[in-house]
Structure 1
Amino acid sequence: MTFSGLKGLVAVGVALLPGIAAAQPANQFFAGKTITITIGFSPGGTYDLFGRMLARYYGKYIPGKPTVIASNMPGAGSFTAANWLYRVAPKDGTAIGIAAQTIAIEEALKNKAVQYKAAEFQWIGRATANVEVQVVLGRSKGATFEGLKHNETPTASTGPGSPSESYPKILNAVAGTQFKIIRGYPGSTDGLLAMERGEVDSALTSWNTMKTTRMDWLNDKKAVLLFQYVPKRSPDLPNVMAVVEAGTNDADRALLTFAASSAEIGRAFMAPPGVPADRIKMLRDAFDATMKDPDLLAEVAKAKLDFDPASGLAVQKIVADTANVDPVIAERMQKLLAE
């Protein structure tokens, strides 16, 4: 064979390399690779907890058994991580993440920090929904729904844009409650401590926090739960009003449903747009299997965590419905929150 003929064969071989790589069996892609779970918050809290828990078990259910690690990227209420995942992260299946459950709502409300399209993420699955509740001291005149309508009730806020401020504002506007928002509390736990000190009569926290740290308040009638911020009542709380029930007409109920939709997103994981469909299916199937892992379930039980997994396809629909909400509803909420 002549030298020129050999050069031609090499050139053909090089040209075929991309095709050979593309033809690599999908179930071998992750072998020897590392998948990074980017957590949009600092260590501590349930976003970090579930992100690291997933990293411990996920790899053994993904074909090729890749290494899985968790990495924190806090900033801008987790939007730094969401923007990075959407715009910069590898789109080959080796990058997934978890961000604030309000990710779709904030896009619909045109938050300037948002540089992503929530429905274009490829959602992998949810570890749990997040039921938030409004706690009111039993001795308060606002300890009933009717009482809240006739008595100013101080409630702890962790700042503008937080659920602890947004929900009371919305309820004041659509249900006639008289929450008085008291800012200056770093977190929901601080709000509960403020109730103990008599600084406020009410605070917002998660049901998981209440049942693991303050159940005596409810058993001893020291406090009551007036609302659960979900579209429909949780099986755990069949006698506590879902916030949507506070609406008296279709427009108000639509607004409250939009506000509460983030509860159903909860602690959910997503991949960037552009990841090949076969790899997304592997990641989703592996996530579903991981949520049934006996050791993971034992961790959840030991920590007394809320645990309500949902498939990636189910989360995809919830996110799309929220992100594509009627602009009239989003604009109304923007105005209420700005007041």
Structure 2
Amino acid sequence: MGFLFVGTLCFLLVTPAGLAFSGQSGENAFDERAVAAFYRGRIVRVVVGFPPGGGADVYSRVIARHLGRFIPGSPTVAVTNMPGAGSIIAANHVYNSGAKDGTEIGMLNGAVILEQLFANPAVHFDMARFRYLAVPVNETYVMIVTRQANIARFSELLGVQAKQLVLGAIPNSTLEHAPILLREALNANLKVVAGYKGSADIRLAIDSGEVHGFFNPWSTIKTTSSDKFASGEWSILAQLTDQPLRDLPSSNIPAIPDLTGDADKRMLLRYGTSAPNQFGKVYMLPRAVPVDRAAALEAAFSQTFADKSFLSEAEKSKLEITPLYGAAILRIVNDFLGMPAGVKDRLKRSLKGSG
């Protein structure tokens, strides 16, 4: 039998002999019988680098409910949360001490690639050496503000009479990087309160009045907090994209890159905010996992993201699915690691030691 998923540029073909091919160009072959013999009766754990309740956790749990059906041998798939440092703790675990037999899948925030570029001493992994499986959605972050902040437009954060907005942030993530870079590039009056482990913790801080806003992917926040926008308790001031979203709760929300005509500042914002979120929720393995099992897992993600029952649950949960797979993700990672030296230096100066 055969499966061909043209829309996602990834395919799986299974021959009568049980030899399967997975990958962007079909180069990764695996023996389905051998892979099934290994996975049968086992548990595959998805290690999520964030706490329960946030977008990374929600996506992972919905995916986990379907993924096992498409892994040869039909293992049980379970989610484990390992929060901390914007998913650096989970990345270190998966890369170094985690299972290397294909029974442990990491789920990281792509923005940690900046910490590798900046030689953060907490980083003990190489993003270029993970075996990438899938990204469920290309994310666009939005700036969310509460009614209590009394700020209706992004322009109120600019200029001599600018109001100050206090934002909650997760260290080493876009939630921290974005406001710092908006201060750098646009002189926006933003104060960052970092140290939260996940967006669910930031929402609690908002409820207590500790902070009055945060950045979050629109694909996530419209799932977890649509009632906040419907009631007017929350609103959106800006979006981190050069391709404005069409389904935001209000119109005329500015796209941040449009607020500066300076090419260097636009590049700073691109590499520091929007580019890492092409792979913001990325599922990967340590490189040591046997090639056949890695190929089978990538194929399983591809089939899951094309499955009607999965897509039905994703739609009910308001989860967008616009996937990327292994080789395409690695190309983005390598492009990012090869950014111009001048941009890298300016990003490092802006982000390190700021708060």
> When the two structures are superposed, what TM-score results if normalisation uses the length of structure 1?
0.77
1:296, distance to aligned residue in structure 2 (A)? 1.8
1:26 maps onto 2:40 in alignment: no
1:117, distance to aligned residue in structure 2 (A)? 0.9
String of CA shifts for 1:254-290, please: whole Å, max 9, x gaps: 1111122222112220111144444433222221111
Q: Is the CA contact (8 Å cut-off) linking 1:30 and 1:65 kept in structure 2?
A: no
RMSD (CA atoms): 3.4
Partner of 1:152: 163
Give the distance between the partners of 2:224 and 2:244, measured in 1 at CA.
22
- Of 263, 266, 283, which residue of structure 2 is paired with 1:250? 263
Partner of 1:4: none
Give the distance between the partners of 1:201 and 1:45, measured in 2 at CA.
18
1:179, distance to aligned residue in structure 2 (A)? 2.2
Label 1:215 to 1:94 Cα distance change in 2 as closer, same or farther (>3 A). Answer: closer
- Matches for 1:134-213 after TM superposition, within 5 Å: 134-136=143-145, 143-150=152-159, 151-158=162-169, 161-181=172-192, 188=199, 202-208=213-219, 210-212=221-223
Give the number of the structure whose residues are more often helix, by fraction. 1
Label 1:212 to 1:127 Cα distance change in 2 as closer, same or farther (>3 A). Answer: closer
Q: Which moved more, 1:318-327 or 1:166-175?
A: 318-327
Give the distance between the partners of 1:65 and 1:110, measured in 2 at CA.
40
Match of 2:338, as an amino acid? N
Label 1:211 to 1:159 Cα distance change in 2 as closer, same or farther (>3 A). Answer: closer
- Matches for 1:274-289 after TM superposition, within 5 Å: 274-289=288-303
Partner of 2:253: 240
**Unaligned regions of 5+ residues in structure 1, if any?**
1-23
Give the distance between the partners of 1:277 and 1:251, measured in 2 at CA.
41
Partner of 2:328: 314
Q: Which moved more, 1:34-43 or 1:166-175?
A: 34-43
**Unaligned regions of 5+ residues in structure 2, if any?**
1-28
Give the distance between the partners of 1:262 and 1:104, measured in 2 at CA.
8
Q: Is the CA contact (8 Å cut-off) linking 1:42 and 1:74 kept in structure 2?
A: yes
> Which secondary structure state, in structure 2, belongs to the residue aligned with residue 31 of structure 1?
helix
Match of 2:269, as an amino acid? L
Work out the percentage of aligned pairs sharing the same amino acid: 32
Q: Is the CA contact (8 Å cut-off) linking 2:137 and 2:281 kept in structure 1?
A: yes
1:28, distance to aligned residue in structure 2 (A)? 2.1
The structure whose Rg is larger is 1
1:227, distance to aligned residue in structure 2 (A)? 1.9
Label 1:120 to 1:242 Cα distance change in 2 as closer, same or farther (>3 A). Answer: farther
Q: Is the CA contact (8 Å cut-off) linking 1:63 and 1:282 kept in structure 2?
A: yes
Q: Is the CA contact (8 Å cut-off) linking 1:98 and 1:270 kept in structure 2?
A: yes
Give the number of the structure whose residues are more often strand, by fraction. 2
Q: Is the CA contact (8 Å cut-off) linking 1:135 and 1:203 kept in structure 2?
A: yes
> When the two structures are superposed, what TM-score results if normalisation uses the length of structure 2?
0.74
Give the distance between the partners of 1:190 and 1:37, measured in 2 at CA.
21
